[in-house]
Amino acid sequence: MAAGDIALHSAEALAGPVGLERGLVEQCRRGDPHAFARLVALHEGMVFNLAARLLGETEEARDVAQEVFLQVFRTLGRFEGRSTLKTWIYRIVVNQCRNRQRWWRRRRKDRSCPIDALTPADEARLAEAGTRMEGPDERLERRERARAVQSALARLSFEHRAVLLLREVEGLSCEEIAGTLSLPEGTVKSRLSRAREALRRALPNGGEEVR
């Protein structure tokens, strides 16, 4: 299992018991640096993965992840606990990535999602992130699938990408996504439906040939 998976699972374990999460937030508010370090360690894998998928650049994703935790640090005092800490952080990630994309667009840099332009190191990590015992053919196939998915994601709109990633990759419910994106739940469901269809069309042969 990769380090990011461990972090994610730990974050999920933490987000579950509301009392534990509330305790961590309270410790952070009281100025306990160890509590904030724990909060960052628990969520950094999730934050980076989502940012990298939304923006398609690992370097940008690192910057965004840093900004996200700084914003968490600065605004934790205003976190009211109406959503879970995890979904609150997801909202910050999505907003930061959206702002960054708008910034690019304003400067006529068409970097809507160059996610298929990942570095060879990223691709190698992608290829090795799964079962490390698999053979070269399986590894190649995994890399091709990962590349096809990234390429398809790159062709979707930011909003479609966000709703798909939150649902299919991060495993949020439509209700949680609605809270994260500040949208009505019905809007999330219809957007998710259109996003899935857009993804299907963007994949080679609807995703069936590559598998």
Tokens matching residue 8: 């994610």
Tokens matching residue 180: 């994260």
Q: Which residues contact 170 (CB under 8 A, 6 or more apart)?
A: 46, 50, 90
Contact string 11-50 vs other proteins (x = CB under 8 A)? -----------------xxxxxx--xx--xx--xx-xxx-
Q: Which is nearer to other proteins, 13 or 105 (CB)?
A: 13
How is 40-102 classified by DSSP, letter by letter?
HHHHHHHHHHHHHHHHS-HHHHHHHHHHHHHHHHHHGGG--SSS-HHHHHHHHHHHHHHHHHH
Q: Which residues contact 149 (CB under 8 A, 6 or more apart)?
A: 203
Please choose, out of 12-20, 99-107, 133-141, 195-203, the segment that lies near other proteins by the rule CB under 8 A: 195-203
Among 164, 166, 172, 178, binds other proteins (CB under 8 A): 164
Instruction: Pick the closest to residue 202 from 109, 111, 113 (CA basis).
Output: 113
Contact string 99-118 vs other proteins (x = CB under 8 A)? --------------------
Tokens matching residue 178: 């609605």
Please choose, out of 3-11, 13-21, 82-90, 105-113, the segment that lies near other proteins by the rule CB under 8 A: 3-11
Q: Minimal distance in Å, beta carbon 3 to other proteins?
A: 6
Q: Minimal distance in Å, beta carbon 107 to other proteins?
A: 24
Which DSSP state fits 169?
I
User: Rounded to whole angstroms, how far apart are CA atoms 207 and 69?
Assistant: 35
Q: Which residues bind other proteins (CB under 8 A)?
A: 2-5, 8, 28-33, 36-37, 40-41, 44-45, 47-49, 52-53, 58, 61-62, 65-66, 69-70, 73-77, 121-122, 125-126, 129-130, 142, 145-146, 148-150, 152-153, 164-165, 168-169, 174, 189, 192-193, 196-197, 199-200, 203, 205-208, 210-211
